[in-house]
Amino acid sequence: MKFLKDFKEFAIKGSMMDMAIGIIIGASFNKVIDVLVKKILLPPLSLLTEGVNFQDKLIILRAAETDVDGNIISDQVAIGYGEFIGTSLDFLIIGLTVFIAVKFLNNLKKKAEDPNDNTVTTPKDIELLSNLTQLMEEQNQLLRQKQKDS
């Protein structure tokens, strides 16, 4: 019963929706990066290496065996290092993009949380906390002044 209540709170607070949106955007972003690497970056790289297609690069450990009729007796066993190169490029591009996005968002957050920066509208909760801190400092000064006078 408590589990269902906790799950309901989790779903209502928006965490589940944020997570679902993030997963959907991440999957779409992955497709874009995959096409970018395989269709835009790797072809010129293959051209520079005299037409070598990295996706097809293999280290064959055991060749496929066929009988006289052309039926496959045993499959080829190979290490597909070309695909690994493409996937590594995917990873590097995604990692760099996420790093840049997080850095950009952190800079925006720092600006938004700085009460002295007038170029960005300060969120209400930060503004209220700043005002509260200022009021507490004024009250402490008044109390100190009252103690000195006594």
| Residue 66 exposure: Cα atoms within 13 Å on the Cβ side | 5
Whole-number pLDDT of residue 115: 63
Strand partners, 79: 59
The answer to whether residues 111 and 117 touch, using CB atoms and an 8 Å cutoff, is: yes
CA distance 43 to 83: 13
CA distance 43 to 115: 50
Asked if residue 81 has pLDDT above 70, the reply is yes
The answer to whether residues 57 and 82 touch, using CB atoms and an 8 Å cutoff, is: yes
Alpha helices in 37-149 (DSSP H): 42-48, 81-113, 124-149
Whole-number pLDDT of residue 117: 65
* Secondary structure class of 79 (helix, strand, coil): strand
Structure tokens at 83: 């695909």
Compute the average pLDDT of residues 131-149: 86
Asked if residue 120 has pLDDT above 70, the reply is no
Asked if residue 77 has pLDDT above 80, the reply is yes
- The radius of gyration computed from the CA coordinates of the chain, to the nearest angstrom, equals 30
pTM, whole model, 2 decimals? 0.51
Residue 52's Cα: distance from chain center in Å? 32
The H or E element spanning position 60 is strand 59-62
Compute the average pLDDT of residues 52-58: 76
CA distance 128 to 106: 21
Whose structure tokens read 């970056």?
Answer: 41
Compute the average pLDDT of residues 87-110: 84
